[in-house]
Each structure stands twice: as C-alpha cells, then as structure tokens.
Amino acid sequence: MNSPIIHLSKIRYGYPGGPLVLNELDFHLHVGDRIGLVAPNGSGKTTLFHIIMGLIKPLSGTVEAFGKARRAESDFIEVRRRIGLLFQDADDQLFSPTVLEDVAFGPLNLGKSRDEAVAVARKTLDFLGLNGFEDRVTYKLSGGEKRLVSLATVLAMEPEVLLLDEPSGALDSSTKDKLIEILNGLDLSFVLISHEFDFLSKTAGHIYTMDGGRIRFDQELDIHTHEHAHLMGKLPHRHL
C-alpha cells in the first residue's frame, strides 16, 4: 500500500470577499495515478492546484506532500521542484526572450550549470518535437506552439507529478493528438483538468468531478464506448 505523495485534508478556501470555493476538501494522489478532473467553471479546480503548489494558503486544513506537512513558504520550495504546474494561460508561463532560455530557466534555478541546463532544455524540446524552436521569440509563437513550449518549460525540471490546467484548450486536433501521445509516453503521475471527455478518456485512468467545494471520489466516471451505425461505417474513419 503506497502512501500518497499528495494529501490534502479538510481544505477550506474562499477568495477575499467571496463565498467558500473549497469546503472541507480531501484529496490524495498516489504514485502512478493518472487522474482527470472535470467540473463546471468556478468549482475550484485551478484553486486546488494553486493550493497544492503553495501559491495560495488555505484558510484551514492541511497540505501534505511527499510525506511532510507543508505550511510555510519555505516548505513549498521542495514541492515546486518535484511537482510541475502547467498554467491555463500559456502566456503567463513564458517570460524569457527566447524559447531556449525559458526552457533552461527551470534547470538553472535547480542549480545546474549553464551547459547542463542547455543540454536538458534541448533534450526536452527534442522530446516534444520542438527542435528548431530554440531561438524563436516566445511572444511571437502561435497558441498551440506556446502551449507545447510551456509544457517543455515544466518538463525540463523533470518533475515526479504534473498538474495540467486545461492543457487541450484552444488546440487543434493534430496538436491535441500530439499532446495525448506525449502524456501517455511520460513516466510520472498527473492530474489533468479538462472539459473534453474524449481527451480525458485517452489519457486519464480515473476521472473525478468536483461538487460543493469537494472532490467526488464516490462518483467515479466510467470510461466506456458507445456503438452507433451510419453509412460507410466499415471504411476507416474518425469522428472529431
């Protein structure tokens, strides 16, 4: 029985002047879990991620990561090294002039030397099929390219857990397929927020939803296929 790497207990949080978004929330993530989270807008999914990373401090409740309780800002430094967060808006994640510098930012902060950081950055870009992007200017990239580059910036830190906030938003179907392929090829645990069921069904192992400020583990969504019929069904085809 492996102990959870992330364990949130009785978390309560509400934005200043507003109602409680998270109300006695419990959450746990074990090694190898690939969890999908789908819930209506405003249910607190992004807030949950920000609390795990220590960007927001909950009003009450405990945050435990990698076996230790995390309370102060300094406790979260280790958390941020081992958990990667992919923001909903890729523009918030890219702040260096060129792609190579942005991807190398994480490794450099982890203490690697300049040459090691550049090597890791190049390897990560290569893994994502982004060779040739090293000297591109970050703010001149297209939406899909920005999304993949921001994924590269997070993966370059070689995290054990990935938190992805709507990674497939505003991506065309071929970039989405690429993303699905990449996620399935990664050897780490992740939590994926998405509104798209078939994206989740191809990547996540369990899908949970959020309701009333808590995660509904009991209402696990089952992945299944529907059978249907239409003309020329025997010929190979895809539904978009």
Partner 1 sequence: MIKESFAEGSSWMHGIDPRLRVTGAVAFAVVVAVSYDFKALLIALTLSLFMALSARLNFQAVLQRLLAPVVFLLLLWAVVPWTYEGDVLAVLGPLVITRPGVALCAQISVKTVCLMLAFMALVATMTVATLGHTLNRLRLPDKMVHMLLITYRYLFVIEQEYHRLVRAMKIRNFHPKTNLHSYRTFAYLVGMLFVRASERARRVHGAMICRGFSGRFVSLRVFPHNPRNYLFSIGIIFSLALLVALESAK
Which residue lies nearer to partner 1 by CB, 108 or 182?
Answer: 108
Residue type, 140: K
Strand partners, 8: 27, 63
Residue 99 amino acid letter: V
- Phi-psi region at 36: left, alpha or beta (left = phi > 0; alpha = psi -120 to 50): beta
Within the chain, where are the H helices?
45-52, 76-82, 99-109, 114-127, 143-155, 173-185, 197-203
For partner 1, what does the binding mask look like between residues 67 and 106, x meaning CB under 8 A?
----------x--xx--xx-x-x-xxx-xxxx-xx--xxx
Which of residues 38 and 141 has its CB atom nearest to partner 1 in the complex? 141
The yes or no reply on residue 109 touching partner 1 (CB under 8 A) is yes
Which amino acid is located at 196 in the chain?
E
Query: Which residues does residue 69 pair with via DSSP β-bridges, in sequence order?
Result: 64
User: Is the Cβ–Cβ distance between 28 and 4 less than 8 Å?
Assistant: yes
> Which runs of E-coded beta strand occur in 31-82?
34-38, 60-65, 68-69
Site for partner 1 in 153-192 (CB under 8 A): 153-154, 157
Q: Which region among 33-41, 62-70, 107-115, 165-173 touches partner 1 (by CB under 8 A)?
A: 107-115
Q: How many residues in the shown chain lie near partner 1 by CB under 8 A?
A: 32
| One residue of 65, 117, 149, 207 binding partner 1 per CB under 8 A | 117
Per CB under 8 A, does 118 bind partner 1? yes
- Applying CB under 8 A, the residues found at the interface with partner 1 are 50, 53, 55, 77, 80-81, 84-85, 87, 89, 91-93, 95-98, 100-101, 104-106, 108-110, 114, 117-118, 139, 153-154, 157
